[in-house]
A and B are shown apart, each in its own frame.
Chain A
């Protein structure tokens, strides 16, 4: 059959065409390599963007209308942090402080939903005042005995409406309001007045964190020093500083990258295997290329070109797979709206770089082997 496509114009493109011809001849083998890389890409994209989304949501919970966060020094997780009412009062009395909003975190279970985040807040907390109230009134928050306020998503998965009873943990509450927020954790969580939450979690007089709004944000450094001096048991950080240093965020980031890189290592081994098979099955052909004047470098470039082509195809397929997985997870009712994927350009760049590096690393040995093929020997024995 005559070929419908002519040989491309430039030397580079003609080399590239040779790369694609080689891949086309061994479609299944090439597809296995592409699959290895694409699964790595999809895994990394999914995990990283979910982790980034979760961190972003948590950051927004902490940073609503505030400049700094104050919490117990040397605590591994904010859920275990204790800031006393007395310390909150001291913070409120500081000249630099405009507002101090204590917030108590807790986890509760409901039938069918083992983990629901509970926020103990005061009535004037900005997250309540700024939320979109679907049912009930913000001014009633904390005034209805036995009442609980639900995030929009939580009301949905609990299947309750305003005024209905709902079983939360060991108690039964009346739905006193439903507020919708853009934050997945808040929207899938429940709100209690701070004193009620403290009682519920047996942490009377305690908040997990205090969100501080300063009169002048430029004086944040001064505020941090004052807290360090006057309240040595507490640690104050600017929001940005907190996001960068919070151990849990670092652990999440590290875990996500570690899992992703492991997935890539498997992909890289797949590429190495694909390229080795490709080289071993083409020893005679590579010898012919050498006979025709290809240098060892040109032969290596062909092998690396094939690996790069596999990685590129893997990237495209992987991003599509990962995107589809994120869409499905983001819309799955089981996740209660907690999956809010955030895809950052740096993350995409990192995935692309990791993918290419892995694939090219996987091609090092095959390329080295191919470039060392002795034409006479290969032509004599194969």
Chain B
């Protein structure tokens, strides 16, 4: 086993080891009648951009939820950023300080402004107002929605909402960004732009990304592509090698 080190956020991480390790992950629904994940093994190295590619219902979103501690596996071992997402306290700490989420639907809070929405993770984390404000300005400028800070969510476009959602996911400087079909609700051009932003931001900031997508074109642009089919990872590789 590799050496464990504590980082500034209180988590442990294997030095030089994978950021995410999953072994034999299983998940069923409907009292075990529906098997969604049937023994998934997964390693994600720090700084990687990994695509979980597969059709709807293949289990990629469920796998992403397990990685993010939004759900717990029925069986298997899982370590994310040195923590066990099955533990409630670890889950809260993970979501508060180590993970960022982007969903297919932006899931921003209606009636709050862009700035207020982006403040939510900082609020959970107890970040100071000044630091929060600085972070919001930096992120929104980098994705081109700096002029939309005072606008309510319902008053901005779909692409801007998704950019705001990406900013929110990056607010607490996460190590790992989990993106579940982040371009799924966008038109082709906007989807290209948003995916590009997500990928570039992650690269610039050294954030590890696990992206669930059914669109091969986006999966192929990632460092590694894992094909998910019927609850299993069937192949991996870069681009079309999967």
A interface residues, Cβ below 8 angstroms from B: 1-3, 6-11, 14-15, 17-18, 21, 24-25, 284-285, 288-295, 298, 374-377, 379-380
Known: A21-B111, A25-B110. Contact between A375 and B70, CB under 8 A? yes
Is B58 among interface residues, defined by CB-CB distance under 8 A?
Answer: no
The answer on a CB contact under 8 Å between A9 and B129 is yes
The answer on a CB contact under 8 Å between B155 and A292 is no
Lowest 9 A-B CB distances belong to which pairs? A293-B96, A2-B150, A293-B124, A376-B71, A376-B70, A292-B121, A376-B65, A375-B70, A3-B113
Is B103 among interface residues, defined by CB-CB distance under 8 A?
Answer: yes
The answer on a CB contact under 8 Å between A379 and B150 is no
Roughly how many angstroms separate A1 CA and B150 CA in the complex, as a whole number?
A: 7
The answer on a CB contact under 8 Å between B95 and A293 is yes
16 A-B interface contacts by CB (under 8 A): A1-B151, A2-B151, A3-B115, A3-B150, A7-B116, A11-B126, A18-B120, A18-B123, A21-B116, A285-B109, A288-B107, A288-B109, A293-B92, A294-B124, A375-B70, A376-B65
CB distance from B115 to the nearest CB of A (A): 6
Is B49 among interface residues, defined by CB-CB distance under 8 A?
Answer: no
Chain B residues with Cβ under 8 A from A289's Cβ? 120, 124
Chain A residues with Cβ under 8 A from B162's Cβ? none
CB distance from B25 to the nearest CB of A (A): 14
Is B175 among interface residues, defined by CB-CB distance under 8 A?
Answer: no
Known: A8-B129, A293-B121. 8 other contacts (CB 8 A): A6-B115, A7-B116, A9-B129, A15-B123, A21-B111, A25-B111, A291-B70, A293-B92
Chain B residues with Cβ under 8 A from A24's Cβ? 111
Roughly how many angstroms separate A290 CA and B93 CA in the complex, as a whole number?
A: 11
Q: Quick one: closest B residue to A25, CB to CB?
A: B111
Q: Quick one: closest B residue to A295, CB to CB?
A: B92
The answer on a CB contact under 8 Å between B107 and A379 is yes
Is B242 among interface residues, defined by CB-CB distance under 8 A?
Answer: no
CB distance from B113 to the nearest CB of A (A): 4
CB distance from B155 to the nearest CB of A (A): 6
Roughly how many angstroms separate A377 CA and B155 CA in the complex, as a whole number?
A: 28
Q: Quick one: closest A residue to B150, CB to CB?
A: A2
Interface centre among B92, B111, B112, B123 (most CB of A within 10 A): B123
Write out, one digit per residue, whether chain B residues 131-158 have a CB within 8 A of any chain A CB (1) or not (0). 0000000000000000001111001000
Q: Quick one: closest B residue to A17, CB to CB?
A: B116
Chain B residues with Cβ under 8 A from A8's Cβ? 129
Is B213 among interface residues, defined by CB-CB distance under 8 A?
Answer: no
